[in-house]
Amino acid sequence: MNLLIKRFTGVIGISVIAAIGSTTIEFIRGLGKLGIFFAEIIKSLLPLRFYWRIFLKQLMEIGYYSLPVIGLTAIFTGAALALQSYTGFVRMNAESAIASVVALSITRELGPVLAGLMLSGRVSASITAEIGSMKVTEQIDALYTLGANPIHYLVIPRVIAGLIALPCLVLVADIIGILGGYLVAIYKLDFSAHVYLTNTISFIKLTDITSGLIKAVVFGFIVTFIGCYFGFHSKGGAQGVGHSTTSAVAVSSILILVMNYITTGLLFSY
């Protein structure tokens, strides 16, 4: 009996080690593929043939058509933040700090992070599905046959559009988020409009806004780059495209949270 138990536990231990090893190898292989894809993009920049029509279309898709979801997310986040701050600060008789807390939290952290996560679900999935469909139907191979570089045609316009669009969306989210906190403070918490605006303007600094915009540039690259990567590596028909789309959203969301911590540490380390 003891011998059977030892053999059974030994088999379980080996299977667990094998699973951990295969997962680690797959993770390292994925990092290698990401690095190779990034190197292909850098290599394709010279000489660069820029497709302006595709770029402007992607700028509309990523930027303009994302305004409703970004605006709704920002205004309700600012409103909820004002309520949460009030219920906490009233215990310490620090209600006057609510305006400063809302402005600082929106511009430094919540604006860029929430905008990045919203675009991760909307834009990254859309890019992966579009390019993945082209991949499995061999349209990308047709581009090679016609002498067109798929990186120039499909990736670079989307990445550049993301780098430009997301900071603009974050700037809009900052304004709308602060407006949401203002509306709750004035019409629900009975704050003075003049005092609230004065506290907001006097406390917030240019570095608070620029730090959020720097994060937005990083997040814009992550969203578009990951979407293009999983689209180019889709396989297995419609089911494979669906799996790649799910993976793109998950990976881009995780990378946004990781890079948010790293950029925060770099920007506010001194």
Res 99: pLDDT = 85
Tens digit of pLDDT for each residue in 209-222? 999 999 999 999 99
Res 270: pLDDT = 57
Q: Are residues 37 and 131 in the same domain?
A: no
Q: Are residues 16 and 146 in the same domain?
A: no
Tens digit of pLDDT for each residue in 9-54? 555 556 667 777 777 787 787 778 777 877 777 777 776 777 888 8
Structural domain total, the chain: 2
Q: Are residues 33 and 92 in the same domain?
A: no
Determine the residue type at 39: A
On the 0-12 / 13-18 / 19+ scale of CB atoms within 10 A, 110 is buried
Q: Are residues 214 and 147 in the same domain?
A: yes
The phi and psi torsions of 189 (rounded to 5 degrees) equal -100, 0
Question: Distances in Å between the alpha carbon of 178 and those of 47, 59, 72, 85, 174?
Answer: 44, 25, 12, 13, 6
Which two three-digit tokens encode residue 187? 């019409």
Domain that holds residue 95: 51-267
Lowest mean pLDDT among 4-8, 12-16, 77-81, 258-262: 4-8
Q: Are residues 103 and 234 in the same domain?
A: yes
Tens digit of pLDDT for each residue in 107-123? 989 999 999 999 998 89
Q: Are residues 213 and 113 in the same domain?
A: yes
Q: Are residues 197 and 145 in the same domain?
A: yes
Closest CA to 110 of 26, 157, 177: 177
Looking at per-residue pLDDT, the higher value among 238 and 109 belongs to 109
pLDDT bucket at 223, cuts 50 / 70 / 90: very high
Helices 206-232, 2-44: inter-axial angle, 10-degree rounding: 110
pLDDT bucket at 3, cuts 50 / 70 / 90: very low
Q: Are residues 127 and 20 in the same domain?
A: no
Residues 59-76: what's their mean pLDDT? 92
151/157 Cα distance (integer angstroms): 9
pLDDT bucket at 161, cuts 50 / 70 / 90: very high
DSSP letters, 79-133, are HHHHHHHHHHHGGGT-GGGHHHHHHHHIIIIIHHHHHHHHHIIIIIHHHHHHHHH
Q: Are residues 124 and 191 in the same domain?
A: yes
Q: Are residues 6 and 134 in the same domain?
A: no
The pTM of this model reads: 0.86
